Every structure is written in structure tokens, then in C-alpha cells.
Structure 1
Amino acid sequence: MTKAASEAGSYVEPGEFKRDTNYITTRITADGRDGYPVRAGRYRLVAARACPWANRTLIVRRLLGLEDALSLGLCGPTHDKLSWTFDLDPDGLDPVLRIPRLRDAYLARFPDYPRGITVPAIVDVPTGQVVTNDYARITLDFSTEWTAFHREGAPQLYPEPLRAEIDEVALAIFRDVNNGVYRCGFAGAQDAYDAAYDRLFARLDWLTERLTTQRYLVGDTITEADVRLFTTLVRFDPVYHGHFKCNRSKLSEMPVLWAYARDLFQTPGFGDTIDFGQIKTHYYAVHTDINPTKIVPKGPDLADWLTPHGREELGGRPFGDGTPPPPPRPAEQVPPLVEA
């Protein structure tokens, strides 16, 4: 292993890439049954705009209007093998938690924490201890446990009558798309890569068929399933197509998925959480065993994300009986979309 790779951490595994899905399962709930009741101002969401798993929490927090109840700390786009860091803050410290590394919050609760330090994570501000990093559960709990702090007009992202279908679609997306691109990119053997590649594009073809006649994945409104697919699609051409060798076709060459992704990108709460510069910097600079030079590509041209998508013709109501979220707060705005 090169010095650069050892400092950043190694990602490619022998044979098939297998994600560690053992997360901290403590939940923040309305009744506080795990010892952490929902309370406005008590917790801090720590995320990184570069990370697709964290991006989900940024979108759902915006859509539901949880900004007043749940503060946001943002890590920079790069990290070393130890931890994500707060290098975007002027003094290198999170201004609320007063720590330089997210790792400090993990070790405050689990001194011998044995796994990777991941975003998103929710930290209990009074104790400085991590509560959970279970990203899949976090956004569902935002929809179901944090209802007392939803904004007026918040959409139903996990409506009870559709939960079984949302869960089924989300599981397929996770297995073959969200994690599928990583199974391509981090494969350590040709057969493992080939299998992951075939599963990825078979699922994208399935999604294309599903979305040809309906605007959203489940029902006629945006749900949790759309959030989960979007964060992978938005990274597809800038990162996964080249860096992870997911190159049967670009997103922009798959007309239905490209229009669907643009539809969501132009919906308040989605595109206004996307920082393409941080996304590209993260993948190309951190994965040094794939890209040892750390050179970040200039392309692709990103201006087309703002072109008309035509998906309104399929009907659907993005927010159901709700309303769009207000514009992002000044401190949480992303750079305006410009050509790469």
C-alpha cells in the first residue's frame, strides 16, 4: 500500500465489496424509549454534502422543515482513515460541538468504537456523544417521530398506506443501485465487478420501466424512495460513470431517469442541497487506491441539470397536500450551479 493510500484508508477489497451495515441502532423517538426523546435544540445532525447517505438527511430535513429543531454541522468533502473532519469551519472546530473530528463524538460514547466513523450522525449536544449513525432509520424517524416539529405544509414522505411498497422499492434500490455503484467501484476481482455491473444496470432498466408511466416511484407524490434514488443518480455522471466504472451509459444517456433526476433536482429541497464540487473532490481525492493521483476531473458539464424535463405531463403532485419548503437559510446555501 502506498503512503497516500494508507493515510486515506483502503477501499478496494479482495473479490466482492461487502458493506458493513452494522450501525448504531439507538433511536431518537417521540417517547424517548431508547433514552433519547425528540427535543428541539438538543441534537445536532452532522453530515457532509459529498456523501450520498448523508445527503438523504439533508434533503429530508429541508423538506420537513426541521431546521429550527435540529441544527446542522457540516464536515468537509475529504477525510482520512480516522474520521471526517470539520475543516470547513474557520478554526477547524464544529462551532457547537467544539470538536475537530466527528470521531471525537463517537469515542465520547463508545471509547473502543470498532467500526468506521460515518456520516450522517446525530450527536447529543449536552453530552457530546453520538446517538446514532443509522442513516436509513434516521430519515424515517424524521418523518414519523419528529412530527411535532414539522413545518406547516410538510409533505408525507413515508405515508402509512404506502410504507410496505416504499420499503420494497427502497430495498431494491439500496441493494442494486445505492450500494451497487460501490460494489462496482470497490470490486477487487473482475467477476465481482461484472456481477455488480450487471445488477446495477438491470435495476436501472427496471426503474426506467417503472418511471416511464409514473412521475414518482411510489404513488403520485415524492416519498422516501425518491430521496434514496436521487442521491445516487445525481452523482452518477460526475463520479460513478468514470470513477466507479459504471459506464454502460451515462445518466444523461438514459432519457427517463435523466428527466426524473432533473425533475427532482429542480424541486425545492433536492438540488439546493447538492454541491457538485464537494462531491467530485470527495470521491477523486479520498479513494486513492482507485485514483492515486487525486486529480479531480473538470467535467462533466453540469448546466443541463436546469433544462426542462417534461415530467409534469405524467401528473403527480410533488408535495401532495403540502407545500414546497422555503429557500435554504443563508448559512446552508450551496454554490450556484455553474458549468464544470
Structure 2
Amino acid sequence: MSESEGNSAYGKQQFKRSKSHFTDRVTADGRDGWPVAEGRYRLVVSRACPWASRALVSRRLLGLEEAVSLAVADPIQDDRSWRFTLDPNGRDPVLGIRFLSEAYEARERAHPGGVSVPALVDVPSGKLVTNDYQQITLDFATEWTALHRDGAPDLYPAPLRDEIDQVMAEVYEDVNNGVYRTGFATDQGEYEKACEGVFRRLDLLSERLATRRYLVGDSITEADIRLFTTLVRFDAVYHGHFKCNRRKLTENAVLWAYVRDLYQTPGFGDTVDFDHIKRHYYQVHTGINPTGIVPLGPDLSGWSVPHHREELGGRPFGEGTPPGPVPEHEEVPAPGRP
């Protein structure tokens, strides 16, 4: 498996996702040696990767585009992992490197765990700061507040954190990571157990969201971001490629409306590139799809259909406001979005 969705490994017995090796944090007080500072750090992502997509959504909602610059890797990797072949001359124009691995090596040679996104890189030194995909977005929400845009939402409100953490833990185990355990299963029993777990949790989430617009509270939180990045990929890659095919997402009325609601909310759908998503999964995971053929479907037109979730109430941004337009140089080109 590629290192596209956090450090991970799979074998004959069970798919396992290893913890991030570089867990330094960028904080307001700089206690790990990395203080919050405008323009100092570069966020490296793949638009194919659900874990990196969390950081893209959070950065947009909080208005951190000017504070944290963005590097987008090619969705197709080679033996050195994430590469900057989308940029002129195959180099990131800010870091000056061809491969994200160069920033990892600048930080620690012969480091364990592979090269994963999202990654925050220190621009002055060219060194990786962190690849802790679980913590980066929480810190964007809580440590970077001095650089948030006016009207930025509170994505991790203190009074709701215990509930948010519980929901996120369940979603991570059964959905975010569950689709990978399903897709990379190496025997029938392992596959069936993982697949049943995915759909059992999706059914529980459907029940939860039948009467409430968002997962926790009455506005968007980190929990919604983490569920969205898996759901938006479900029919495009997880249903077929990972054999999570008991039902399509479009066959679950509640979850299909919920994910369309988020997709149509500024900061969510405008970060999604279905072309990158499909090409990465189907062309990089050669153990699952040895031909490298990328399917033509599914039809993407349904993402713009009205969802009517506003009838449940709720305020997407709480006391805040929507983010502004996507910076021109960060727009997802057609046909990446419907």
C-alpha cells in the first residue's frame, strides 16, 4: 500500500495503520520549538488522500490560506512516494524540492514509517515539522486562532470536546479506517468482519443524523470534517475498489443528504478533486487493481442536487460566517468536480 493515508501497513492477518512518527506540534506558545507564525509553514497534501483532505477543509473554513501556504502533490506516486510533478519543472516552487521525502530526510535520515500526507514543513529550514494527521487539524482550530479569519467557526468548541472526541473515535475505528481494513483484507473472514463493521457504523450514524443536521451540536465541527472526507470518496472508490459494496452511499437517504449538505457548503466541496481521488486509488493500489484501469463512474451530477437538510435547523458556521472564495491558484480544475 502507498503511504497516502497516514503511515500504514497490511499483511496476511490484518491491516494496521501505524502512528505518525513526527508528532511535534505547531502551537501558539511554541513549546515544541515550532511557534505559530504567518508564512513560516507549508502544508503538503494530496487531494486524493482523505486524511490530507481534512487539513484542506479545516484550512479553508478557518481562513488560513494566507497564513499556511499549500503544496499539492501528484496523486500518482513513484518509488519515492509523493512528488511535485504538478509544478513547473517538477519542483515545489516554495520548498524547491522534487519529493516530499526530501523534507522528511532533512528532518531525520533513515526515519521509520514512510512518507505520508498531510505534512507541515518549515519553510526556512526545509525540514518536516509534523505528519500527525490526527493532531494537525485540531491545532489549526485551537492553536492558530490568532491567524483565523474574521468570522471563522469554532470547529472544536470546548464544551463539546468530550462528545466530539467520542464520535470521532467511533468514526475513525469503523469508517475512516474500517474501509481500509475492508479493502486490504487478505481472507474472507477478515473482510466480512471489517465490511460489516463499516455498515453497522454507517447505520448508527444515519440514525443519529436523521433528526440533527450535524454530528455534534448545531454547527459544523471537526467530527463532521472527518466523516465527510470518507463519505465523499465512498461511491467513487470505497464501494468498488475496497469492496464496501453492501450498499452505495446514494442508497442511504440520510447520509447521502448529509454529505451533499456538507459538499455544497463553502470549504468542503471546493476542496474535492474526484479525478485525483479515482486515479490515485485505482492506479497506485496495484495489489488490489493490477490493471490500473480507472472506472468511468460514478455519475457526479447528484452532488449538486438540493439536500433539504436546512429543514433540520442548525447553523453551519455557528456564530461565524462562510469562508471567502477559493484563491484562484488553489481552485480544483474541471473535471475534478461536478
Compute the TM-score of the two structures, normalised by the length of structure 1.
0.96
Q: In the alignment, is residue 118 of structure 1 matched against residue 116 of structure 2?
A: yes
CA–CA distance in 2 between the matches of 1:218 and 1:12? Answer: 33
Q: Unpaired segments of 5 or more residues in structure 2?
A: none
Shift of 1:90: 1.8
The residue aligned with 1:265 is: 263
Partner secondary structure for residue 220 of structure 2:
coil
Partner secondary structure for residue 137 of structure 2:
helix
CA–CA distance in 1 between the matches of 2:245 and 2:184? Answer: 15
CA–CA distance in 1 between the matches of 2:21 and 2:236? Answer: 28
Partner secondary structure for residue 91 of structure 1:
helix
The equivalences for 1:146-295 within 5 A come to 146-295=144-293
Partner secondary structure for residue 152 of structure 2:
coil
The residue aligned with 1:109 is: 107
The residue aligned with 1:96 is: 94
Paired amino acid for 2:49: C
Partner secondary structure for residue 74 of structure 2:
coil
Q: Is the 2:276–2:336 Cα contact (8 Å) retained in structure 1?
A: no
The residue aligned with 1:15 is: 13
C-alpha RMSD of matched pairs (Å): 1.6
Q: Is the 1:154–1:325 Cα contact (8 Å) retained in structure 2?
A: yes
The residue aligned with 1:131 is: 129
Q: Is the 2:141–2:155 Cα contact (8 Å) retained in structure 1?
A: yes
Partner secondary structure for residue 17 of structure 2:
coil
CA–CA distance in 2 between the matches of 1:73 and 1:306? Answer: 28
The residue aligned with 1:72 is: 70
The equivalences for 1:30-69 within 5 A come to 30-69=28-67
Shift of 1:114: 1.4
Shift of 1:83: 1.7
Partner secondary structure for residue 34 of structure 2:
coil
Identity of aligned residues (%): 64
Partner secondary structure for residue 71 of structure 2:
strand
CA–CA distance in 2 between the matches of 1:339 and 1:81? Answer: 29
CA–CA distance in 1 between the matches of 2:31 and 2:46? Answer: 28
State how many pairs are aligned.
334
Partner secondary structure for residue 131 of structure 1:
strand
Paired amino acid for 2:41: Y
Shift of 1:188: 1.1
Q: Is the 2:9–2:17 Cα contact (8 Å) retained in structure 1?
A: no
Compute the TM-score of the two structures, normalised by the length of structure 2.
0.96
CA gap 1:339/1:218 in 2 versus in 1, 3 angstroms: closer
CA–CA distance in 2 between the matches of 1:118 and 1:245? Answer: 24
> What are the superposed Cα offsets for residues 28-86 of structure 1, whole Å, 9 maximum, x if unpaired?
00000000000101110000101000000000000000011110011011113432000
Partner secondary structure for residue 16 of structure 2:
coil
Q: Unpaired segments of 5 or more residues in structure 1?
A: none
Partner secondary structure for residue 45 of structure 1:
strand
Shift of 1:338: 7.5
CA–CA distance in 2 between the matches of 1:277 and 1:90? Answer: 20
CA–CA distance in 2 between the matches of 1:134 and 1:80? Answer: 23
Q: Is the 2:272–2:337 Cα contact (8 Å) retained in structure 1?
A: no
